[in-house]
Structure 1
């Protein structure tokens, strides 16, 4: 093995069909992120992993739901487990509930990630604490599909406290914001259930978004940037 391969890893070998699927996704047009929520499609995502180390742990599952024209579309959702060559530890399984057999029988990682891309299209992504989800999905894309996943995200962990500055110090976690708005969760730490809860949080923020005239994905990004500048001034 060459020194470069040892340092950066060999590029994954995709089948012709996989290459075609990836190319078709890349060729899709970019959406207008300034369109109002009532005329756009957003994808809310959450992941489950083998741990919290973004450099060493692995992506196990992706859950995603869509918000189309301002409404959650349960029929348009994704819940997918990536096949693992090594099952995660017992303590980790207790958190997300994806057992060893389910991990071993998951979808081949390249096909799972392609299925996620096909579900996503070029729709903007929303999550709670984006950095973790973005890093884990990005690493998996690089490892199994051989490309850098550079997509547009918005982080409700920054948007919510911008809209409710008086609550910013008391409410930090997804669980706390869920409790504030009375949002239930049928299976906490399930990727799909947490994605649904995050989507419901987005809708719960709608009155304040309307008051701020930020009813678009770009509006979410602007609010996120505002909060980041407040907490981490340049």
Structure 2
């Protein structure tokens, strides 16, 4: 499939460069040759319109392994703040962290992910929060394909128990318990991104037990 995007001379260079990555049809790649990026956002709440992203954590997966030398952690300087969610993510309005404005954080994130396949747990939320932030700066939406570890986890549950998992929603904590992943760094963006990357690799290993996995199998 060919991707066509409306040209806008007012787009900043980083966004134009990002769109160019998707302008041509990609060659078919084996799963082990693809760059995956597991990512997570910590936010002031769950309202896509009014809440804001406080931090973004991301880490790369290459050749079926987590690449700790290829990761990103950003804290955002936001006017909107919700003291009720501090107990979850621990990010305070004034806590000495180096923060960047939202547009600069988006530039860092977009430059970092490139055309990688993104992975998140309950990915729809993180995708919408990023897209809402992009729209506030008159940019487009994420073009990357995105995998959800919650949906992938249902695949292995269905294989084991042969039951319909369609309406079941697994938390990241439940994945950690089932897949024996440490929860020591939960509820930080970088920590949850790392846990999501581990979960993805463990799910991939379980799926491979039955057959050779193609990238198209992960999106079915």
TM range (shorter): 0.7 to 0.9
- Structure 1 residue 187: deviation in Å? 1.9
Task: Supply the RMSD in Å over aligned alpha carbons.
Answer: 2.5
Structure 1: runs of 5+ lacking an equivalent: 1-15, 223-234
CA gap of 1:141–1:212, structure 2 versus 1, over 3 A, is: farther
Structure 2: runs of 5+ lacking an equivalent: 1-9
Q: Per the alignment, in what secondary structure is the counterpart of residue 185 of structure 2?
A: coil
Q: 1:76 maps to which residue?
A: 70
Q: 2:187 maps to which residue?
A: 189
- Structure 1 residue 65: deviation in Å? 0.7
Asked if 1 retains the 8 angstrom alpha-carbon contact of 2:14 and 2:110, the reply is no
Q: How far apart in 2 are the matches of 1:55 and 1:34?
A: 37
Asked if 2 retains the 8 angstrom alpha-carbon contact of 1:159 and 1:220, the reply is yes
Q: 1:5 maps to which residue?
A: none
CA gap of 1:103–1:49, structure 2 versus 1, over 3 A, is: farther
1:16-35 paired onto structure 2 within 5 Å:
19-29=12-22, 32=26, 34-35=28-29
Q: Per the alignment, in what secondary structure is the counterpart of residue 101 of structure 1?
A: coil
Q: 1:71-120: CA deviations, max 9, x gaps?
A: 1011101111121023x222211211111125995211111101101110
CA gap of 1:33–1:74, structure 2 versus 1, over 3 A, is: farther
Q: 2:82 maps to which residue?
A: 89
TM-score (norm 2): 0.83
CA gap of 1:194–1:92, structure 2 versus 1, over 3 A, is: same
Higher helix share goes to which structure?
Answer: 1
CA gap of 1:89–1:22, structure 2 versus 1, over 3 A, is: same
TM-score (norm 1): 0.79
The alignment of Structure 1 onto Structure 2 pairs a total of residues equal to 205
